[in-house]
Amino acid sequence: MAAIEHVAGHAHDGGMSEAIPATGHTDINRTHWMLRILPARARPYGRLARWDRPIGIWLLLFPCWWSIALCAPLPAPDSPSHVDGPGDWASFAWFMLAFAIGAFAMRGAGCTWNDILDRHIDAHVERTRDRPLPAGEVTVGQALAWLAAQAAVGAAILFSFNLFAIAVGLASLLIVAIYPLMKRITSWPQVVLGFAFNWGALLGWAAVGADRPCLAYAALSLYLAGVAWTLVYDTIYAMQDQRDDAIIGVRSTARRFQAQPQAWLTLFAVLTVIGLALAGWLARIGGVYYVGLAAVAAHLAWQVATVKPRDPADCLHKFRANRWIGWLLLAGILAGRLL
């Protein structure tokens, strides 16, 4: 994940591995405030859930928030958009908060599941060998109990929605369950991650706008745009582990596109912008939305043009910068709806 966070990332093939020096790079942040406030015995569980790296929560949450902002009825009676109708800010705020809690819990559950499945691989990857399971700080049984506790929180949120939204949410579980295995069998695990991580675009519509079938295609376009966005940020994220992945044979789009990374990233960035533009058009959103979309396009262009595929620190910096894309698009959607 990115939000489910990759465990054994990604790399060039074996013939290229010696060209990439070991850097001692790690994305584990033991000093993060979310860990410091925990008792010492609880900190390994916080790291299992990646509380020290909240970017994954944002990347899981933003497609949910985009969909809610696009599809929820808002109290803007003078707007010509057909997505507007009777609505109140209290309901809107509740759904935004509920999805935030759900994203926090389910991202942690997904990371925990990912670490359980990949604990043996993690022990051989420089960036991940200090994670709680390969380091022996927690047992598999303890990790499974922690997974169940986090999933229970997510289930409580999901079951507060309407029946259709519950069914849509449950439909995502299979994708979430199989994602950690994909890096073993395909060079496109980021696509599966995109399907899982952007499911909130569909779930948001199901929760707040299912009575507006005209918005179904807008939500679907938002979802597919999110998948393309995931291929941008998670390919960049995957570049961090190129040396180790080449050695242990883990597959990824970073390895698949090693010869022309910028060209492929450009393609996915363009598809992201096209999908987001189509979602706005299908929802008949106000023109100011496209100002926010232009800012998103500029940010993606900066990422693709300046990323350094063999510099793990730069890749991590670019990956984390994607939270700004989430905020820019959310601002654009709300401005397009209200103005």
Residue 24 has pLDDT above 60, yes or no: no
Amino acid at position 329, single letter: L
Question: Region 109-126: what's the mean pLDDT?
Answer: 87
Helix (H) or strand (E) holding 173: helix 173-182
3-state class (DSSP) for residue 122: helix
Residue 21 has pLDDT above 80, yes or no: no
Q: What is the largest distance, in Å, between two alpha-carbon atoms of the chain?
A: 63
> What structural domains does the chain harbor?
14-338 (1.10.357.140)
pLDDT tens digits along 51-95: 988 999 999 999 999 999 999 998 755 544 444 455 688 999 999
Q: Which of 121-135, 147-161, 194-208 has the lowest mean pLDDT?
A: 121-135
Q: Which pTM was predicted?
A: 0.86
Confidence tier at 272 by pLDDT (50, 70, 90): very high
What pLDDT sits at residue 76?
Answer: 55
pLDDT tens digits along 279-310: 999 999 999 999 999 999 999 999 999 999 98
pLDDT tens digits along 204-231: 999 998 888 889 999 999 999 999 999 9
Dihedral class, residue 138 (left if φ above 0, else alpha if ψ from -120 to 50, else beta): beta
Quote the radius of gyration of the chain (alpha carbons, Å).
20
